[in-house]
Homo-oligomer: A and B are copies of this chain.
Amino acid sequence: MTFNKQAIRSSYVRPIDFKRGRVEMSHGGGGRAMTQLIETLFVSAFDNAMLSALNDQACFSPPTGRMVMSTDGYVISPLFFPGGDIGCLAVHGTLNDIAMAGAKPLYLSAGFILEEGFPLADLKRIVASMAAAAQAAGIQIVTGDTKVVERGKGDGIFITTTGVGSVPDGIEIAADRARPGDRVLVSGTLGDHGITILSLRENLGFHTEIESDTAALHDLVANMIAAVPAIKVLRDPTRGGLATILNEIALQSAVGIAIDEHQLPIREPVRAACEFLGFDPLYIANEGKLVAICPPEDADRLLETMRAHPLGQAAAIIGEVIEDPQCFVQMETAFGGRRIVDWLSGEQLPRIC
């Protein structure tokens, strides 16, 4: 690798002003300004040999086992929120999609769509947050892309990350594997992320008590798989919340799912905010939680394993898979009744991730 950082650096006209500077159209133009931004910001923050080779692609050895690939776009507003920002969210969210196949995440790519005029200080903060999240998760951001659109044609920054990972042999996790009798578990409290964003957007003032749960779940998943290799389904209840992913699982597995409202872990301030605002926490997005479905005989061991992990301390068994040709999700309510937990029809909360 003879990449000559010194030579590139000496060819820059002036250093980038990361304090007061803003994104300019030239930062997406393919010329010196773009190279300078990539070299001084992204390559430096995501520091790894593949990225600093400055090829248009990363090259690595294929993993053993099966491979998984997942992509997600991040358009969250606001960009910064209690508990995180669009940067760490863009790392955690895609890592989690990889982990939900029972896979170990390996590499990430990151594509940035920047709006002209976006403060470079914010960009730097977001990139630093991505780098920290990647490092904490033990994965590398190995290739990327930057585009700039004119003022008014974007909204500050959009990030699309794509991850690849590998699934150990013998692990078969997919949304169509739930069977009647299986138990349904969640890894922790519901609705923290969505209510945090909502409270910021609506300026409701209770955001001091709640923060986003954004977190990378692959380490928790690795522990869970080690303890219970027979886990059948893993899903992270992001957009659309618990209700949506349970409906997806029910449909794909051609089963019904019955949950018990008593068992749902929900923080008191989240419950209060939902009541105040008329939202149902079942539909609120999470960014650091997972739903697991496993055979009944493994449920207690799985629960114990989850609770032993920092990200699963509030884990709970919330219900079971039942026979139902109509694939309904139903809930025994706190008042002893029973109701259908339907698909979300419209948009509950836009730009939540």
Q: List A residues at the B interface (Cβ < 8 Å).
A: 1-4, 7-8, 11, 13, 24-26, 28-35, 53-75, 97-98, 100-101, 103, 107, 109-113, 142-150, 152-155, 158, 160, 162, 164, 166-167, 174-176, 235-236, 238-241, 244, 248, 251-254, 285, 327, 343-351
Nearest 4 Cβ contacts at the A-B interface: A30-B239, A30-B240, A31-B344, A29-B347
User: Do residues A348 and B29 form an inter-chain contact, with CB atoms below 8 A?
Assistant: yes
When C-beta atoms are compared, the residue in chain B nearest to A351 turns out to be B149
Q: With A31-B240, A343-B11 in contact, is A109–B62 under 8 Å at CB? A: no
Kindly report which residue of chain B lies nearest to residue A112, judged by CB atoms: B73
CA distance in complex: A58, B62 (Å):
16
What is the count of identical protomers in the complex?
A: 2
**Contact between B248 and A54, CB atoms less than 8 A apart:** yes
Counting chain B CB atoms within 10 Å of each CB, the highest count among A28, A55, A148, A152 belongs to A55
Return 8 A-B CB contacts under 8 Å, by A number. Answer: A4-B252, A7-B251, A30-B344, A35-B248, A58-B69, A60-B68, A148-B347, A153-B155
Task: With both chains docked as a complex, state the minimum distance between the C-beta of A232 and any C-beta of chain B, in angstroms.
Answer: 13
A56 touches B251 (CB 8 A): no
Shortest distance between the CB of A59 and any CB in chain B (Å): 5
* Bound: A64/B298 CA distance, A: 36
* A241 neighbours in B (Cβ, 8 Å): 30
Q: Report whether A166 and B62 are in contact in the complex, using a CB–CB cutoff of 8 Å.
A: yes
B residues in contact with A240, CB < 8 Å:
29-31, 34
Taking each of A2, A54, A69, A111, which has the highest tally of chain B beta carbons within 10 Å of its own beta carbon?
A69
Q: Which residue of B lies closest to A110 (CB)?
A: B71
A29 lies within 8 A of B113 (CB): no
Closest Cβ of chain B to A225, distance in Å, is: 15
Contact B29–A239 (Cβ < 8 Å): yes
Q: Quick one: which of B28, B56, B73, B327 contacts A235, CB cutoff 8 A?
A: B56
Cα distance A112–B160 when bound, in Å? Answer: 9
Residues of chain B with a CB closer than 8 A to A236's CB: 56
Closest residue to A115 on the B side, CB-wise? Answer: B153
Cα A254 to Cα B253 with chains together (Å): 57
Residues of chain B within 8 A of A155, CB atoms compared: 149, 153-154
Q: Is the CB of B13 within 8 A of A345?
A: yes
Contacts of A107 in B (CB 8 A): 69
Query: A70-B109, A109-B162, A164-B69 are contacts. A176–B2 as well, Cβ < 8 Å?
Result: yes
A71, A74, A155, A239: residue with the most chain B Cβ atoms closer than 10 Å: A71
Q: Are the CB atoms of B145 and A347 closer together than 8 Å?
A: no
CA distance A347 to B235 in the complex (A): 43
Q: In the complex the two chains form, is B29's CB within 8 Å of A58's CB?
A: no
- Within the complex, which residue of B58, B62, B251 is in contact with A4, where a contact is CB–CB below 8 Å? B251
